[in-house]
Structure 1
Amino acid sequence: MTDRIATRKRELVEAAYKVFCTKGYRTSGVADIVRETGVSHGTFYNYYDSKRHILDDVLDYAVESIIEGVVGEDQPNEATSLDELAGQFRVMLDRLLTLVEGKPGLVQFTMLDTPAIDDELVQRLLTLISSFGVLTTAYLDNGVRRGFLPADLDTKIAGQGLLSLMMYSVVPTLRGPLVEPERTRHIDALVGFAFNGMAARS
C-alpha cells in the first residue's frame, strides 16, 4: 500500500470514527463520512465498498486509540515492586478515564453499538480485547519474574481480571465525567481491589 493510499484510508477511517461516535452507526451513512472528510462519494468507494466495510477498520482504530492512550510509552517490565505495579495500574486507569471523558462517544461505540451490529464484529471486538489482555498479562509476568508476585499466580487469568476492571471503570462515565473526589475514590477502590488480594497471596 502506497503512502498516499494509506493516508487517504486513514482520513476516511478517522472521519467515519467521528461520525459513528457522534451520530451512531445505524443513523449515519456514507454521505456523512464523505462530508466530514471533504471528499466525493467516488473517492470513498475507491477504498471501501460500504459503510459496513469501513467499520472493521474503524473498530481497529478505536481500540488502537484506547491502547495507545492508556499504555503510552510504559513498559510492562518497569515495575520492581507491587507498589510500583499498582502505581502503573493507577496511572492507566486515570489515562483511560481521561480518554473516554475527552471522547464521550468512544465507549458507546466500542462497547455498546458495535457488538449489536453482527456476530462477526462481536468476534472481532473480542479478538482486539484479547490483545489488550495479553498486555495486562505481561505486567503480571514481570511481577512473577521479579518475585514480588507469587510464582503460582495464573497471570493469564489475573490479567483478564485486570482488563475486566479497566473495562468496568469506564461504565460510570456513560452518565458523564467523574469529578473529584469521586474520580479518586473510583480509582482507589479498583486499585485496592486488584492488588490487595495479590499482596495477601505474596
Structure 2
Amino acid sequence: MREPTAVQQTRRDVGPITDRGAARRRQLLDAARRVFERQGFTDARVADIVKEAHASHGTFYTYFDTKEAIFVEVARTVIEDMHEDMAVAVPTSGLDLRVHDAIDRFIHAYRPNAAIIALMEQLALDSVEMRALRLDLRDSFVQRTRRGIERMQADGSVPADLDVEYTAEALGAMLEYTCHLWFSLGKEFEERRLADALAGIWFATLHPEGHGAP
C-alpha cells in the first residue's frame, strides 16, 4: 500500500476542506456503493470504483487508503440514512397503530440498503470494525423499540412485568431476519400480508390475552 502524502493524510483525517473536495468525496462514495452492490465486496476493485466515479486513482487515494476504508464509509452512510428514515413521528395512541408504524418504517428503511447490510454482515465475521458498525445499526433499532415499549408500559398499553430489554431484542431479530430473507436472499413475500403478520406477532407479544385494553 502506498504511503499517503501529507495533504492526502490531512484530507483523510479531517475531510475535504472545500466544497469541490466534498463533492469529489461524495462522488467516490456513491460510485463505491454502486460497485459494491453490483459486484460484492470481494470482487470489487479500486479500479472499478474510480472508473464508476469517472475519477483518477490519485483522487481516490486523496480521500481513502484502501477498498476497505471506503466500504466502511459507505456502511456509515447507510447507518445514517436508516437512522434518518426511521426518525419520523410515531403515532401517540393505539398500540396497533404504533406496531404497524414501527414495522412499516423498518421495512421502508431496510429495503434500499439491503445489499450493503448483507455485505456488512459478511465482513463482520472477520472485521472487528465492521462488526461494531453492524451491531450499532441493529442496536439503534432495538433501542428505539425498547423506548417505545417503555412508553407504552408507562401509559398502561403493555404489561408492567414484560421483559422490555429481551422482548425488544427478540422482536428486532425477527424483523431483521425476515427482511434479510426477503431482500437479500430473494424469498418472495406479499408485502402487506407479511407486514400484517409481523404486526400480529408483535401485538400478541406486547398485548397478551387478558391484559387491559390500551
Q: Displacement, 1:117?
A: 4.7
Structure 1 residue aligned with 2:148: 139
Partner of 1:51: 67
Q: Does 1:88 align with 2:91?
A: no
Is residue 2:210 matched to residue 1:194? no
* Letter paired with 2:202: A
**Aligned residue-pair number:** 193
Contact map agreement 2:171 2:202 (CA 8 A) in 1: yes
What is the CA–CA distance in structure 2 between the aligned matches of 1:19 and 1:68, rounded to whole Å? 24
Indicate the residue corresponding to 2:25 in structure 1. 9
Q: Deviations over 1:142-183 (max 9, x none)?
A: 21222211223332322222321221221133343745xx33
- Preserved contact between residue 33 and residue 74 of structure 2 (Cα < 8 Å): yes
Query: Match of 1:110, as an amino acid?
Result: M
Q: % of aligned pairs identical?
A: 27
CA shift in 2, pair 1:14/1:136, >3 Å: farther
Structure 1 residues 59 and 140: alpha-carbon distance in aligned structure 2, compared to 1, 3 A threshold: same
Q: Report the equivalent of 1:37.
A: 53
Asked if 1:163 corresponds to 2:172, the answer is yes
Higher relative CO (Cα under 8 Å, sequence separation at least 6) belongs to: 1
Q: Give the structure 2 partner of residue 28 of structure 1.
A: 44
Distance, in Å, in 1 between the alignment partners of 2:76 and 2:134 is 8
Residue 93 of structure 1, CA deviation = 4.7
The answer to whether the 8 A contact 1:80-1:143 is kept is: no
Superposed displacement of residue 22, structure 1? 0.7
Secondary structure of the residue aligned to 2:88 is: coil
Q: Residues 63 and 128 of structure 1 are in contact (CA less than 8 Å); yes or no, is this contact kept in structure 2?
A: yes
- Provide the aligned C-alpha RMSD in A: 2.5
1:114-165 CA-partner distances (Å, limit 9, x unpaired): 3245233223311232122222222222212222112233323222223212
Relative to the length of structure 1, the TM-score reads 0.81
1:24 is paired with a residue whose SS is helix
Q: Partners of 2:81 and 2:24 in 1: how far apart? A: 18
TM-score by length of 2: 0.77
Q: Rg larger in 1 or in 2?
A: 2
